[in-house]
Amino acid sequence: MCRSLDISIGIKELNFTDKRGKMIVLLTDGREIIVPLSFFPEIKKMSLKKRNEWMILDDQFFTFEHLSTIYSIKDIMRI
Q: What CATH number is attached to the domain comprising 16?
A: 3.30.2020.40
- What total number of domains does the chain contain? 1
Domain presence at residue 3: no
Mean residue pLDDT of the chain comes to: 90
Domain presence at residue 18: yes
Compute the CA torsion angle 66, 70, 72, 75 (nearest 10 deg).
-80
Q: What is the pLDDT of residue 2?
A: 46
Instruction: State how beta strands 32-36 and 54-57 pair.
Output: unpaired
Residue type, 67: L
User: Of 20, 24, 21, which Cα lies nearest the Cα of 54?
Assistant: 24
Q: What is the pLDDT of residue 75?
A: 93
- The Cα-based distances of 77 to 47, 48, 49, 65, 66 in angstroms read 24, 23, 25, 23, 24
Q: What is the pLDDT of residue 40?
A: 96
Q: What is the pLDDT of residue 29?
A: 93
Domain presence at residue 26: yes
Range of the domain at 33: 11-77
